[in-house]
């Protein structure tokens, strides 16, 4: 009994220390969580994203788990929208999500040294797959220097269930600047890894999810395409569907 009491006391003392130090740390290190700006969220919703699928993590909006766009970037879209009094149509904003001509003919990826070799194989394979699509000016390559790159591919660990995630193209027509691979999923086989990277590259140059109604529908592509690489779920790689091919041919014609 006496022992138990002491143990309890020790726990109470330990807990109070924990809370004190925790509170102390939080006061110094953790800024007050910022509520997502209504204006920015409203803009994303007006772009076709579902509000319940938009989360804000450290100044970056995470949409449908794997699509990233920074708050600053959304603010630029919103500001561009406001200053646009010249009567340009909404097509303009859709266009600003796409990659500009000077980049899309050679999107340059740099693979960070933290990326395991099995994922490097998948990245090389994904570049080859996209480059094999005919009738589009889309072309990409892997460069050996990060300073020459448009997109850095790196790794991170998250207990969440996204395998990889990527930024959308930026306001100035540059490809999405970062792709992150979740090392929690290093065990996936090569077919799933290849599918994952081909998919994330699609986000880098502006494709959204085929099976969700976000963004602008690409006229000329099928409305249902259960094997599309741009569905929100991962399949073993089995090549592009004709809808995937049409999407890039229409967005980035030769």
Residues that bind Zn ion (CB under 5 A): 66
Q: Which is nearer to Zn ion, 195 or 252 (CB)?
A: 195
CB of 118 to Zn ion, least distance (A): 20
Q: Which is nearer to Zn ion, 66 or 73 (CB)?
A: 66
3-class state of residue 238 by DSSP: coil
Q: Which is nearer to Zn ion, 78 or 225 (CB)?
A: 225
- For residues 165-189, b (16+ Cβ closer than 10 Å) or e, as one string? bbbbbbbebbbbbbbbbbeebeebe
Instruction: Report yes or no: 179 and 154 within 8 Å, Cβ to Cβ.
Output: yes
| CB-CB neighbours of 81 under 10 Å | 15
Q: Which is nearer to Zn ion, 78 or 240 (CB)?
A: 240
Location of structure tokens 């570049």: 127
Phi, psi of 135 (to 5 degrees): 75, 25
CB of 199 to Zn ion, least distance (A): 6
Tell me the residue nearest to Zn ion as measured from the CB: 66
Residue 149's alpha-carbon distances to 108, 136, 140, 145, in angstroms, are: 5, 21, 11, 7
CB of 171 to Zn ion, least distance (A): 20
What the block records as the tokens of 213 is 């109604």
CB of 231 to Zn ion, least distance (A): 8
Q: Which is nearer to Zn ion, 66 or 225 (CB)?
A: 66
Query: What is the crossing angle of helices 71-83 and 38-46, to 10°?
Result: 70
CB of 167 to Zn ion, least distance (A): 12
Classify residue 90 by its DSSP letter: T
């Amino acid at each position: 009994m006496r022992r138990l009491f002491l143990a309890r006391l020790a726990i109470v003392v330990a807990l109070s220390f924990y809370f004190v130090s925790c509170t102390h740390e939080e006061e110094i290190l953790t800024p007050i969580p910022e509520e997502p700006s209504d204006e920015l969220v409203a803009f994303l919703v007006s772009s076709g994203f579902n509000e319940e699928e938009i989360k804000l993590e450290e100044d970056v909006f995470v949409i449908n788990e794997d699509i990233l766009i920074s708050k600053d970037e959304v603010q630029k879209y919103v500001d561009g929208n406001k200053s646009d009094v010249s009567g340009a149509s909404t097509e303009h904003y859709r266009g600003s999500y796409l990659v500009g001509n000077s980049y899309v003919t050679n999107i340059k990826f740099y693979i960070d040294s933290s990326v395991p070799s099995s994922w490097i194989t998948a990245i090389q394979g994904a570049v080859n797959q996209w480059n094999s699509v005919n009738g589009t000016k889309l072309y990409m390559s892997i460069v050996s220097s990060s300073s020459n790159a448009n997109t850095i591919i790196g790794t991170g660990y998250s207990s969440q269930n996204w395998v990889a995630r990527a930024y959308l193209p930026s306001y100035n027509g540059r490809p999405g600047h970062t792709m992150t691979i979740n090392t929690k999923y290093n065990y996936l086989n090569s077919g799933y890894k290849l599918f994952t990277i081909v998919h994330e590259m699609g986000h880098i140059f502006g494709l959204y999810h085929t099976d969700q109604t976000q963004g602008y529908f690409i006229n000329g592509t099928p409305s249902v395409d259960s094997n599309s690489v741009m569905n929100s779920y991962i399949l073993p790689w089995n090549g592009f569907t004709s809808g995937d091919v049409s999407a890039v041919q229409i967005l980035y014609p030769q």
